Structure 1
Amino acid sequence: MFLFNNFDLDFVATYSLLLIAVLSFRFIYNTRAPRAPIMINRRGGARIPFRRNPLVPPPDPHPPTPTTSYEVSPEDVTQVKDILAKSRNLPPELVDMIIDRAEYWACATTSINYPSHISVRGGRPGEDQFLLRTAPLGLKWTPASEDIWRVESEPKQLEQEYPPPELEKLVDPPMSTLENPFRRVVFDIVSRDQGWSGHHTDHGTYRSSFTWFDAGLERFDMNNNCSSTCPDQLNKGSSESSSSIPTCAIRPVWPSVVPSDGGAPGMRYHHETLPNEDHLIQRNKHAEKSWHHHHVEWSWDDNVDPSETDSPAVRELENAGRGMGTGNGEFVRNLKYGDMITVWGRARFLGWSNNIQRVEVKVYWAF
């Protein structure tokens, strides 16, 4: 911790004014463009747009490719840090404290919108549907192949992660010195189930809901043999990517991969029958015909112990349709530079259908 000598009232006043200035900067930034009406959740500041129930044309067999944008870029954060440091000749440690306290973090957004909706149906092939992946966290990297980028990665075992010095070459400067640079992951999902079931006592709740969304994780594998016929190589000349890491080097960490059934060569994904409480983002409300917008936040400093199953905090997660193991902050604290978060839509058993309009993931990090 940074220690201050001669800590007087003048310094306290300066610190407070600078903190107010950064908070005001965030307010101006976040209100300079028109936005949808908002609702405030218990954490504050969560934007939940009101949506009308849409007309439902036939599902699009070719859904759009997820897009990535920046809400606050690393360059924005660097600029504000420079302003604070030069205005009062403040030490870098204090500037970092002010920026972090104000939660003025870099933010990358990845989203996918379906013109009407897509349906993931239980009890048949396709009941585990890959929906999107974020850009590699904190890196300047562009996929050479959109065809590979928009679908689930090939089920291969991750053999050797890229060492930090190799990834640092692609990090948006400056490199964070924090032990846990990634601070928050926010999921916004608009979806519903099939709108009916025989379990009438569970209607309108998250109990006995067999349609849900999971968060997965992927990393780059150094042991990757990219053939000359790989789309990465064919598209390399026209790609804007300056990275030497090919898209086909992406490997799943979760869901895990296991040997194929019946002694067949190769690997396959292992998808669990019921939700994994450590990765469950959100269940759909049971037998609800209207579309619901679920806003879920995972933070690095969350501290809900999932083993205390009778605690009010764990019960609150369960009653909200969230994974009971997702409130301890472990997923966010364990994120590394270059990681990619994936979102999977699930449905189980005949008659159950996970209908999806929109999925968005925001990742915030400090440096």
Structure 2
Amino acid sequence: MGSTLSTISSALTKESEPAYNGNPTEDDVTSVRDLFLCYLPLELIDLILEYAEYWPCIRCDSNYEIVAEASRAISNEAAWLYLMSPPIPPKDESKRRRIRKITFQMESHDQGWANTEIDQGTYNGSWSWFEAVIFRASVSPCWLDLTSDPTSPFNLGAKFNYSDLKELFPEPDPNGWHVQSNIVASKEPRWHSVTWTEFEDDSEAHRDPTSSKGREGFGHELVRSLEPGDRVMLIAKARFPGWSNHVFQGSIEIYYSV
């Protein structure tokens, strides 16, 4: 049991080496605001920066190739921790940090076949998907050690069932939001980009707060729930025998204003 906990502890610290991603740093935003102060009132400057979405970004990405197979998981539900973001910056009296949006990008496909033709080529009835979960260290089990670096994504579904995972990440409650499903019965890798803001999207066509794939259509809740020190996890999932999630690469970007 000890080795298993150690492995999971390592997996829960996954983050990529920092790299320039085309977004400003906090110092960049401060420098631009100070420069504009020579010409414009602060209220107008903040409106300009807001309209331009000139925000710092926390980013992580991975190009590890994995196959999350439901038939190889406890309870026939595969759950691979594929990505975990760096922590949300701590509170700072000199900066008004506020999470503005989160973007997930994924390249993946399902097992490439299905028993029926009704849903093939659509997202309907897909049991190969991605879920976002918040990791809050202050309420997670005491054995989670965030000091070591993993070498690859971790297969949570091989050690824990659905109820176990809920106990590992108990807050916020509810915790778990549907990000994106794979197209049914397609062997072609496809790129999906999903962006959530802090505002509820009235144009969202489908909402299901009780979905077993995570709260569908409620991504704004995740943005609003984030606290300093929280990390966002992208979990590749598949359920029921025969279903799988083939993941080739992905990224998480968390934008915040200062």
Same fold, TM-score > 0.5, yes or no: yes
Name the amino acid aligned to 1:76: D
Q: In structure 2, what is the equivalent of residue 75 of structure 1? A: 27
Please identify, of 280-289 and 213-222, the stretch whose mean Cα deviation from structure 2 is larger.
213-222
Contact kept in structure 1, 2:131 and 2:214, CA below 8 Å: no
Larger RCO, structure (CA 8 Å, separation 6 or more): 2
1:283 offset after TM fit, Å? 0.4
Residue equivalent to 2:110:
193
Q: Alpha carbons of 1:198 and 1:277: their partners in 2 closer, same or farther (altered >3 Å)?
A: farther
Q: Within the alignment, does 1:352 sit opposite 2:250 as a pair? A: no
Q: How many residues align?
A: 220
1:232-243 → structure 2 map (5 Å cutoff):
232=147
Q: 1:293 aligns to what SS in structure 2?
A: strand
2:232 is matched with 341
Q: Which residue is 1:325 aligned to?
A: 217
Counterparts of 1:353 and 1:220 in 2: how far apart (Å)? 30
CA contact (8 A) 1:72 1:108 kept: no
CA shift at 1:344, angstroms? 0.6
Residues in 1 aligned to 2:47 and 2:79: alpha-carbon distance in whole angstroms:
42
User: What RMSD, in angstroms, separates the aligned Cα atoms of the two structures?
Assistant: 3.5
Q: CA contact under 8 A between 1:186 and 1:363: conserved in structure 2?
A: yes
Whether 1:122 aligns to 2:70 is yes
User: Secondary structure of the residue that 1:96 maps to in structure 2?
Assistant: helix
Tell me, in whole angstroms, the C-alpha distance in 1 between the residues paired with 2:192 and 2:242.
23
Determine if contact 1:106/1:365 at 8 Å carries over to the other structure. Answer: yes
Asked if the contact 1:277/1:324 (under 8 Å) is kept, the reply is no
* Identity in percent: 28
* TM-score between the two structures when normalised by the length of structure 1: 0.53
For residues 223 and 287 of structure 1, the distance between their equivalents in structure 2, rounded to whole angstroms, comes to 37
Amino acid at match of 2:187: K
Displacement of 1:316: 9.6
Q: Larger C-alpha radius of gyration, 1 or 2? A: 1
* Secondary structure class of the residue paired with 1:362: strand
* Alpha carbons of structure 1 residues 112 and 174: separation in structure 2 relative to 1, 3 Å: farther
> Which residues of 2 match residues 188-337 of structure 1 at below 5 A?
188-221=105-138, 232=147, 268-270=164-166, 279-304=177-202, 313-315=204-206, 324-326=216-218, 329-337=220-228
Deviation at 1:200, TM superposition (A): 0.6
Alignment of 1:74-223 (within 5 A): 74-86=26-38, 88=39, 90-114=40-64, 117-125=65-73, 127-138=78-89, 167-168=90-91, 174-176=94-96, 181-221=98-138
Task: Name the CA shift for 1:365/1:322 in 2 (closer, same or farther; >3 Å).
Answer: same
Taking structure 2 as the reference length, the TM-score comes to 0.73
Does the C-alpha gap of structure 1 residues 285 and 277 become closer, same or farther in structure 2, counting only changes over 3 Å? Answer: farther
Task: Kindly provide the CA deviation profile for residues 5-32 of structure 1, in whole angstroms up to 9, marking residues without a partner as x.
Answer: xxxxxxxxxxxxxxxxxxxxxxxxxxxx
**How many angstroms apart in 2 are the aligned matches of 1:224 and 1:193?**
33
Deviation readout 1:230-287 (Å, 9 max, x if unpaired): 784xx8xxxxxxxxxxx9xxxxxxx9xxxx99xxxxx93239xxxx996000000000
Taking a change above 3 Å as real, the CA distance of residues 283 and 222 of structure 1, as seen in their structure-2 partners, is closer
Structure 2 CA distance for aligned equivalents of residues 333 and 268 of structure 1: 25
Question: Unaligned stretches of 5+ in structure 1?
Answer: 1-61, 139-166, 236-246, 248-254, 262-266, 305-311
Contact 1:277 1:325 (8 Å CA) reproduced: no
Poorly superposed stretches of 4+, deviation over 4 Å: 222-227
List runs of 5+ in structure 2 lacking aligned partners: 1-10, 150-155, 168-173
- Structure with the largest fraction of strand: 2
1:123 counterpart SS class: helix
CA distance in 2, matches of 1:226, 1:129: 20
Report the Cα distance in structure 2 between the residues aligned to 1:345 and 1:357, rounded to whole angstroms: 11
Contact 2:70-2:243 at 8 Å conserved across structures: yes
Amino acid in structure 2 at the alignment position of 1:324? E
| Residue 303 (structure 1) shift | 3.1
2:204–2:217 Cα contact (<8 Å) kept: no
